[in-house]
Structure 1
Amino acid sequence: MDKAENRRAAAPAARTQWGAVLAIVGAGVVASLQVGKVIIAAPLLRRDMGLDLSSIGALTAVFSVLGVLGGIAAGGVIARFGARRMLLLGLAATAAGTVIGALAPGYGVLLASRVVEGLGFLMITVAGPAALQRIVTSGNRDFAFALWSCYMPAGMAIAMLASQAFGDWHAYWWCAGLAAGAALACVALLAPASPRGAGMSWRSLRQDTVDTMGAAGPVLLALSFTLYSLMFFALFTFLPVLLMEQLGLTLAMAGLYSAIASAANVVGNLGAGVLLARGWRRSTLIASASTAMGAVALLIFGSALPAMPTFLLCVLFSAVGGLIPATLLGTAPLVAPRPALTAASVGLVMQGSNLGQVIGPLAVGGAIDRYGWSSASFIVAAAGLAGVAIAWRLRRVEPARH
């Protein structure tokens, strides 16, 4: 890209490019589809490969390992090479990992394919907010980021609904790969060029990391996202299995019910955008949602209620929880130590999200295997209490109303 094109790409958005926004959000949805496909295919994987819940949890968790280790570094790479390029590369990696998984002869290769998909997920989820920041006007920023924050529940809901059409997990993997290819084409056609940044060195990357992690705002957001992801994936990684084993639903009905519960999270995400626009404090939304999620989890995993009330509690858990990611992702660019560290700050927040995705499934899967379903409720409730504590710390550094 020449200097003139670089200047055009670097210029602030004169108007919001909604086609590009939808293409970028679509890339995030496709990325989260790769998370949801394992969750809903868990009974099929257990049947075909004889996997226990801990192994299923590992398939979900390994997807996030690269995100835990490389969020800030990914932000530096994106700032150097441009968000659009990294989105395209992330979608290509996602498609490649899905193909490897579809051809996997055993658990080891399937697990390795999840690492490749995890690399794609990392690039997409860090590059997406950076790309949006460049193409939306300030007046539309909160709504655009609320849309972006829907990528995880939307993708998971689609994955679970799509399960109605598959009786074999291999075919499911192939279709997920086709979805990644389609998203790649949409981003290539609709998303505008992103400028390259200054040259990157280990010294500058190290300094960016120190500056980002030394700022209270991004660190608190990352910790809050860790706790939210732990709570959300503690339930949704095993929700189809819970519905089948504890409530007696068929796989098809468990997929449908799980999709509805996951889609409810979108309501919370969009609701957060509305409430923030009306002046609600960010810390208040996070504290309230964390309290509700922890309390509701005690009832869900306790399995003391009939099937329908338990399912409705799952919907409530998801809907209220959706207030948190939209608030966190919309706040991240505002608390960056300096504008050049916006991508790094988002990367740190996503590291927190991925850490929760690693801890939640592994801890809860192991606890359920050893102590039964009720043990999961105490893990989620403890995370909810910790989320409230982090929210009140965030109150001291959260930005003024925007």
Structure 2
Amino acid sequence: MSYRIQWLGKDLWVIGAGFAAAMHIGKLPVAIPVLQAELGLTLVQSGLLLSFIQCAGMCFALLLGSYTAKLGLKRCVLLGLALLTAASICAGLMQSVLSLFVMRTIEGFGFLLVTLSGPALIRELAPAHSLPMKMGLWTAYMGGGMGIALMAAPLLMQQWSWPAIWFGFSAVTFFFLVMIALMIPKPVPVTQPVQMRSLIRMTLRHPPAWLLACIFGTYAGQWFALVGFMPTIYEQNQIAPAVSGMLTAGVSIANAVGTFACGIMLQRGLNAKKLMQSGFAILIFCAFSFYAFKTQMPFVLQYASVFSFSLFGGLVAASIFSQALHFAPSPSAISTTIGLILQFSALSQFVLPPCIAWLVSLTGTWLWAGVVMSVLSLFGIWFTQHLFTKTFIQTV
């Protein structure tokens, strides 16, 4: 058995674990209407439940990033997968609103442990010549995992019930837990003790780490908000729920395709700075076009704007994670640097959607949402320009 699956590459099992972890994020939106009907979940509770998985990243990403170096990358991935598996099973068995909130919080920590440790573990396992492509594939975990969940969850729920989604996805997660435990070699013992405080201090004093976090923060909240408001497109155009799920999955998978394509381009020598700035420029065009002309555009053009936003947003996401390996203050601080990036990402995804909703309700128009997102992308371009200055490149 080990011979047959060895050709896949040990790093691909870690990438698969990232996809499996992201499936737990994508499983909830499809099930919300059923949870409201069966468990009495209110609209406010639904919104909180959707955002609860971001709480762990928003509060503890940097701290946990420093702890992975002490615990070990492989152990952190296994622990994260174990938390996701156990929490998903418990939520499916208990079937109560309180259990959903508690287990969603635990899933948030499991998801964070996997996504914090994955890039650094891939760096240890992947050959140097294929690292940019593998990082591009890793960055596709969010769009790809959510896309798979958005397509699979309605089928499971239609055949059985919503707990079948929780049990089914926990089985997928457990499969990757077993394979990583068997296939990934034991970590090399650390010769010197890793001081968590020193890793955090080193990262916080390193300007490129802050710039990478700011760049990703300007992007991640936009993607989450734009995809989150897609139901307004479907409602406006009277799209059937079954079709809307497939369309939303297509947008998520487009992001995965964009990140993987960016990884290939980086491996072939394309400039990361140009890819990031080009991505942000396209985001400005797509977001402003969608929001400014939302009521005038036919559905096909509305969907094309969102699809293109997600696709070319992959240029930004993949470039950031690949550059995190390069701009981290030291190899031992890669997870801490990614922790800072994910903390800004979670904060952006938590804050931006309600801010856009408030702005739209205040002004009565979606135009200013496009303006806000365009300004954020302009900041992303400026941060990117500042990141690739000669001063920072010489210090890494």
In the superposition, the TM-score normalised over structure 2's length comes to 0.88
In 2, Cα distance between equivalents of 1:37 and 1:339 = 34
- Please tell me whether the aligned partners of residues 18 and 115 of structure 2 are also in contact (alpha carbons under 8 angstroms): yes
- Please tell me whether the aligned partners of residues 39 and 238 of structure 1 are also in contact (alpha carbons under 8 angstroms): no
Structure 1 range deviating more: 312-321 or 295-304? 295-304
Please give the per-residue CA displacement for 1:102-147, whole angstroms capped at 9, x wherever unaligned. Answer: 2455444322221100000110001111111111121111111111
Where does structure 1 lack aligned partners over 5 or more consecutive residues?
Answer: 1-15
- Name the SS of the counterpart of 2:17 in structure 1: helix
Q: Are residues 1:383 and 2:376 paired? A: yes
Residue from 298, 322, 325 that aligns with 1:330:
322
- Please tell me whether the aligned partners of residues 30 and 154 of structure 2 are also in contact (alpha carbons under 8 angstroms): no
Q: Deviation at 1:350?
A: 2.1
Residue 178 to residue 398, structure 1, CA distance change in 2 (3 Å): farther
Q: How does 1:48-127 map to 2 (within 5 A)?
A: 48=38, 49=40, 51-52=42-43, 55-127=45-117
Tell me which residue corresponds to 2:249: 259
Q: Deviation at 1:44?
A: 3.5
Residue 57 to residue 299, structure 1, CA distance change in 2 (3 Å): farther
Residue 95 to residue 329, structure 1, CA distance change in 2 (3 Å): same
Q: Deviation at 1:365?
A: 5.2
Q: How does 1:18-33 map to 2 (within 5 A)?
A: 18-33=8-23
Q: Deviation at 1:200?
A: 5.7
Residue 26 to residue 303, structure 1, CA distance change in 2 (3 Å): farther
Amino acid at match of 1:75: G
Tell me which residue corresponds to 2:342: 350
Q: Deviation at 1:19?
A: 2.8
Please give the per-residue CA displacement for 1:351-372, whole angstroms capped at 9, x wherever unaligned. Answer: 2222223223443455567767
Amino acid at match of 1:286: M
Tell me which residue corresponds to 1:174: 167
In 1, Cα distance between equivalents of 2:86 and 2:60 = 20
Structure 1 range deviating more: 161-170 or 331-340? 161-170
Residue 106 to residue 147, structure 1, CA distance change in 2 (3 Å): same
Tell me which residue corresponds to 1:235: 226
Tell me which residue corresponds to 2:3: none
Q: Deviation at 1:326?
A: 0.8
Residue 17 to residue 342, structure 1, CA distance change in 2 (3 Å): farther
Tell me which residue corresponds to 2:211: 220
Q: Deviation at 1:64?
A: 1.7
Amino acid at match of 1:102: G
- Number of aligned residue pairs: 382
Tell me which residue corresponds to 1:134: 124
Residue 182 to residue 376, structure 1, CA distance change in 2 (3 Å): farther
Amino acid at match of 1:163: A
Residue from 184, 191, 198 that aligns with 2:177:
184
Residue 380 to residue 59, structure 1, CA distance change in 2 (3 Å): farther
- Name the SS of the counterpart of 1:322 in structure 2: helix
Tell me which residue corresponds to 1:310: 302
- Please tell me whether the aligned partners of residues 101 and 109 of structure 1 are also in contact (alpha carbons under 8 angstroms): yes
- Name the SS of the counterpart of 2:237 in structure 1: coil
Structure 1 range deviating more: 301-310 or 102-111? 102-111
Residue 102 to residue 199, structure 1, CA distance change in 2 (3 Å): farther
- Please tell me whether the aligned partners of residues 130 and 267 of structure 2 are also in contact (alpha carbons under 8 angstroms): no
Q: Are residues 1:249 and 2:239 paired? A: yes
In 2, Cα distance between equivalents of 1:65 and 1:269 = 25
In 2, Cα distance between equivalents of 1:85 and 1:355 = 26
Q: Are residues 1:298 and 2:288 paired? A: yes
In 1, Cα distance between equivalents of 2:93 and 2:392 = 47
Residue 268 to residue 380, structure 1, CA distance change in 2 (3 Å): same
In 1, Cα distance between equivalents of 2:351 and 2:206 = 24
Please give the per-residue CA displacement for 1:310-337, whole angstroms capped at 9, x wherever unaligned. Answer: 1122211111001111101111111111
RMSD: 2.6
Please give the per-residue CA displacement for 1:62-116, whole angstroms capped at 9, x wherever unaligned. Answer: 2122112222322222211211111111001011221233245544432222110
Q: Are residues 1:194 and 2:187 paired? A: yes
Q: Deviation at 1:207?
A: 2.1
In 1, Cα distance between equivalents of 2:29 and 2:360 = 16
In 1, Cα distance between equivalents of 2:264 and 2:377 = 23
Amino acid at match of 1:328: I
- Name the SS of the counterpart of 2:54 in structure 1: helix
In the superposition, the TM-score normalised over structure 1's length comes to 0.86
In 1, Cα distance between equivalents of 2:92 and 2:326 = 41
Q: Deviation at 1:55?
A: 4.2
Tell me which residue corresponds to 1:35: 25
Q: Deviation at 1:231?
A: 0.8
Residue 195 to residue 223, structure 1, CA distance change in 2 (3 Å): same
In 1, Cα distance between equivalents of 2:247 and 2:117 = 32
In 2, Cα distance between equivalents of 1:370 and 1:217 = 37
